[in-house]
């Protein structure tokens, strides 16, 4: 196994993954694991450690959520109402391990190879938030991961790191692993909450935000697996150390990147936040077979596609990818070489979204299959001249607040970016079509007029 980090870089999150028996607690303890947790527990009585101190450290580290949105983690924690406002309601911490974004597999490595790292992060976050029962929601497909985590939780209970009066600190903390049933949308935090409550994973209307009213109508913080691992390391080594990683104050810390698609050595790589895309690509052995790079999806299938030119000087952090008009998302980098059929790839992604739409909001429930049907026709040589414009028009009326959650925005990103950046390829599909000018729908000038009227909001 080649090194999964740049030369000279000392891995943090992946430090233990190649140790034999890395998931076991003995090895973790031997490597200095749970030191922060024990330190904090011991400091409760003396007043050395308070929840706000942990929160302040996380805030000072500049840690931004690793799940996709990149929201500052410490700030998110402060949204939980103080005790005098929330009354008797408990606070819940949910670790989001519903890693389902196509192209993303970083959490799986952490879960399967170093679960105690996650648990310690959850414990520390629980202390900071006043949580008495934390849950880890793992996606249904990760059967092995759930087994590893359950074993780790049992070990932690056995070692007195969880349970009643942990390490004599007077603190009670329970932790439960909850396995989903197979639904991408449950990675959305409010859908995850619904699913944990035993319901269909329908995202909720916000506000109220989970921090105010989440699972079981109680204040709830949902954090990604990698984010919580970072919390552990921040408590181990301090926020100043954490901030030494990264291009600037807004993009800090070590970061996991998932590279897949047409590269020589796909896998999870750890690097400082902000590593240039080309460096990471080189680390992964470059484009497969030495072929030319054509396109990159930088943050999981929901992120707009970028062309080879657009990624040349792009640093891989939240703001760097945003500057290129895409998003870092889950840092799932999908590389497509010159042989890639972009329309087919876009059709494939749109199939995913049509399949995974929860179905509550009209534009998404009806729009995602519509986009998929059109794209399927286009790539199968049954496209029509007006299809490309219609695809863009339909996709354009699905996002930007038209739905409860941003699933719909995610579903249209690959369609809109794919057509905008690789339109000739789509047109080539149409050219191959049997009778592209034979319009089953309204002629395109009518379509345009209708679209115009829609834009103007004129009633017929």
Partner 1 sequence: MSGGAGTPVSEQAGLPRVGEHGALSAGKAVAFSPKALARFEKLLTRYPTKQAALLPTLWIAQGEFGWISREAVDYVAGLLGLSPAFVWGVTTFYTMYNRAPVGKHLIQFCTSISCHLAGAEEVFAECRKILGDLKPGETSADGRFTVIEVECLAQCDKAPAVMVNDDDFAIITKDNLQKFLGGLR
Partner 2 sequence: MAKVTVDGNVVEVPNDANALEACRAAGVDVPHFCYHPRFTIVGQCRMCMVEIDGMPKVQASCTVPIRDGMVIRATSEKALAARNATMEFLLINHPLDCPICDQAGECQLQDNAVAGGLPVSRTSEPRRLTPGYDRTEIGPHVIADMTRCIHCTRCIRFCSEIAGTGELSLIERGGHAIVWTHEGRILDNEWSACTADVCPVGALTTKEFRFRKRVWWLDKTSSICPGCEIGCNVSLEHRDQVVHRFLPRVNPEVNDFWLCDHGRFLAESLNGRDFLKPLVPNGTLPSAPGGAGRRETNWGEALGLVHEKLKAAQAGSIVALGSANLSTEENWLLAELFGKTVGSPNVEFEADQGPLRRIPNRKAVGADGGFVKGTVAAPNAKGAEAAGVRKADGASALGKILAGSLVPDVLYVSDAAFSARTADPAFAAKLRKAKFLVVHARVENPLTDVADVVLPVSGMTGKDGSFVNVQGRVQRFDAAFVPPPIVRTDLEVLLHLGRLFGSFETRWTAAHVFGKLAAAVPAYQGLTWEEPAVTGLPPSSSPAAAYDVLRPPRTSVDDTDKLPALAGKA
Q: Which of 345, 364, 398, 433 binds partner 1 (CB under 8 A)?
A: 345
Do the beta carbons of residue 418 and residue 363 sit within 8 Å? no
Contacts with 56 (C-beta within 8 Å, 6 or more apart), sequence order: 74
Residues of this chain, 401-420, that bind partner 2 according to CB under 8 A: 401-404
**Secondary element (H or E) of residue 319:** helix 318-323
Residue 259 or 451 having the CB closest to partner 1: 259
**Secondary element (H or E) of residue 95:** strand 91-97
**Secondary element (H or E) of residue 457:** none
Q: Is 368 in the site for partner 2 (CB under 8 A)?
A: yes
Contacts with 137 (C-beta within 8 Å, 6 or more apart), sequence order: 94, 95, 96, 97, 98, 178, 179, 180, 186, 192, 195, 196
User: Which residue's structure tokens are 């849950």?
Assistant: 135
From 139-147, 229-237, 238-246, 387-395, give the range in contact with partner 1 by CB under 8 A. Answer: 139-147
From 172-180, 241-249, 307-315, 441-449, give the range in contact with partner 1 by CB under 8 A. Answer: 172-180
Over the window 292 to 331, marking each residue x when it contacts partner 1 by CB under 8 A and - when it does not, the resulting string is -----x---x------------------------------
Both tokens of residue 205? Answer: 């209307």
**Secondary element (H or E) of residue 396:** helix 387-396
Helix (H, G, I), strand (E, B) or coil at 408: helix
Q: Which of 31, 56, 141, 366 binds partner 1 (CB under 8 A)?
A: 141
C-alpha to C-alpha distance for 176 and 191, rounded to whole angstroms: 18
Contacts with 375 (C-beta within 8 Å, 6 or more apart), sequence order: 343, 346, 347, 350, 391, 415
H-type helices in 197-238, by residue range? 225-237
Residue 327 or 391 having the CB closest to partner 2: 391
C-alpha to C-alpha distance for 302 and 332, rounded to whole angstroms: 10
Q: Is 115 in the site for partner 1 (CB under 8 A)?
A: no
Q: Which of 182, 208, 381, 443 binds partner 1 (CB under 8 A)?
A: 182
Residue 34 or 137 having the CB closest to partner 1: 137
Q: Which of 68, 384, 414, 426 binds partner 2 (CB under 8 A)?
A: 384
369 binds, among partner 2, partner 1, none (CB under 5 to 8 A by kind): partner 2
Residue 103 or 219 having the CB closest to partner 1: 103
Q: Residue 393 CB, nearest distance to partner 2 (Å)?
A: 8
**How many residues bind partner 1, per CB under 8 A?**
54
Residue 150 CA, distance from chain mean position? 23
Binding site for partner 1 (CB under 8 A): 99-105, 107-108, 139-144, 174, 176, 178-184, 195-201, 216, 258-262, 266-268, 297, 301, 332, 334, 336, 340, 344-345, 348-349, 352, 355-356, 358
Binding site for partner 2 (CB under 8 A): 183, 200, 202, 205, 354-363, 365-370, 373-374, 384, 390, 393-394, 397-398, 400-404, 440-442, 446-447, 450, 453-460
């Amino acid at each position: 196994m080649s090194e999964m980090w740049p030369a000279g870089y000392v891995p943090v999150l992946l430090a233990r993954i190649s140790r034999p028996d890395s998931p076991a607690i003995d090895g973790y303890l031997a490597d200095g694991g749970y030191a922060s947790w024990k330190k904090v527990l011991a400091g409760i009585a003396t007043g050395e450690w308070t929840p706000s101190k942990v929160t302040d450290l996380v805030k000072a580290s500049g840690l931004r959520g690793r799940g996709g949105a990149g929201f500052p983690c410490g700030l998110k924690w402060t949204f939980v109402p103080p005790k005098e406002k929330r009354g008797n309601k408990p606070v819940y911490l949910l670790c989001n391990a519903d890693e389902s974004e196509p192209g993303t597999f970083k959490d799986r490595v952490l879960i399967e190879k170093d679960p105690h790292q996650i648990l310690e992060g959850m414990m520390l976050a629980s202390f900071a938030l006043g949580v008495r029962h934390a849950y880890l929601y793992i996606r249904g497909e990760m059967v092995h991961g759930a087994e590893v985590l359950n074993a780790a939780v049992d070990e932690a209970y056995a070692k007195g790191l969880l349970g009643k009066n942990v390490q004599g600190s007077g603190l009670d903390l329970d932790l439960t692993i909850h396995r989903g049933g197979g639904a991408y949308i449950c990675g959305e935090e409010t859908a995850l909450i619904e699913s944990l409550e035993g319901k269909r994973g329908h995202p909720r209307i916000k506000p109220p935000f989970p921090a105010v009213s989440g699972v079981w109508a109680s204040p709830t913080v949902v954090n990604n697996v990698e984010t919580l691992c970072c919390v552990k390391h921040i408590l181990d080594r301090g926020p100043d150390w954490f901030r030494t990683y990264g291009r600037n104050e807004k993009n800090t810390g070590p970061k996991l990147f998932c590279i897949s698609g047409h590269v020589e050595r796909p896998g999870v790589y750890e690097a400082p936040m902000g590593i240039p895309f080309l460096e990471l690509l080189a680390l992964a052995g470059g484009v497969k077979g030495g072929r030319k790079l054509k396109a990159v999806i930088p943050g999981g299938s929901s992120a707009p596609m970028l062309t080879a030119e657009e990624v040349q000087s792009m640093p891989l952090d939240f703001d760097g990818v945003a500057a290129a008009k895409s998003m870092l998302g889950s840092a799932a980098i999908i590389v497509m070489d010159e042989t890639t059929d972009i329309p087919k790839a876009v059709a494939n992604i749109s199939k995913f979204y049509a399949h995974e739409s929860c179905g509550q909001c009209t534009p998404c429930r009806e729009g995602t299959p519509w986009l998929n049907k059109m794209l399927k026709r286009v790539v199968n040589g049954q496209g029509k001249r007006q299809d490309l414009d219609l695809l863009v028009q339909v996709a354009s009326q699905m996002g930007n607040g038209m739905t409860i959650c941003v699933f719909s925005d995610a579903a249209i990103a690959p369609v809109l970016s794919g057509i905008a950046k690789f339109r000739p390829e789509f047109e080539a599909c149409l050219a191959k079509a049997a009778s592209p000018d034979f319009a089953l729908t309204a002629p395109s000038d009518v379509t345009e007029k209708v679209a115009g009227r829609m834009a103007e909001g004129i009633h017929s």
